[in-house]
Amino acid sequence: MKKHIVVVDDESSIRDLLGEFLTLSGYRVTTAQSALEAQRAVEREAPDLIVSDLQLEDSDGLDLIAELKTTLPNTPVILLTGVHFDPKVAKEILSKKVSCYLQKTSPLSKILEEVRRLIGS
């Protein structure tokens, strides 16, 4: 059974590209463009991993993650963002809320490496 990943991003080009890449890498991917869609997807089938953008149209990525964590406390989360955080800030604040924080400028191989580290192949 392939591991299930929910990818949340309001930019369709990034969402689709990441979904396609993770599918090709052997995962089952559900994409969502908003926090609402993400919540519905998670209710339909609990994922093994959530990959979310920080800035969403209808919510903040960190708020969404906090909500999802109430029902899925053990599901790892990767936060993807185009906003550059100060590394110290990212380590101190974000590491408490997400399993991993990655900038969108990170290469896909790095993202895949983190995915494999968190849920395996």
Which positions lie near another protein, rule CB under 8 A?
11, 13-14, 17-18, 20-21, 24, 82-83, 103-105, 107-109
End-to-end CA distance of the chain: 11
> Three-class SS string for 73-92?
CCCCEEEEECCCCCHHHHHH
Tokens of 92: 């101190």
- Minimum CB separation from another protein for residue 55, in Å? 9
95 vs 106 by CB, closer to another protein: 106
Neighbours of 27 (CB within 10 A): 22
Token reading at 37: 């869609």
Element (H, E) at 59: none
Query: Closest approach of Cβ 34 to another protein, in Å?
Result: 17
Task: Provide the minimum distance between the beta carbon of 28 and another protein in the complex, in angstroms, as a whole number.
Answer: 18
Closest separation between CB of residue 45 and another protein, Å? 25
The closest alpha carbon to 102, from 77, 75, 81, 72, belongs to 81
Comparison of 13 and 70: residue with beta carbon closer to another protein: 13
For another protein, the closer of residues 68 and 80 by Cβ is 80
Nearer to another protein, 21 or 85 (CB): 21
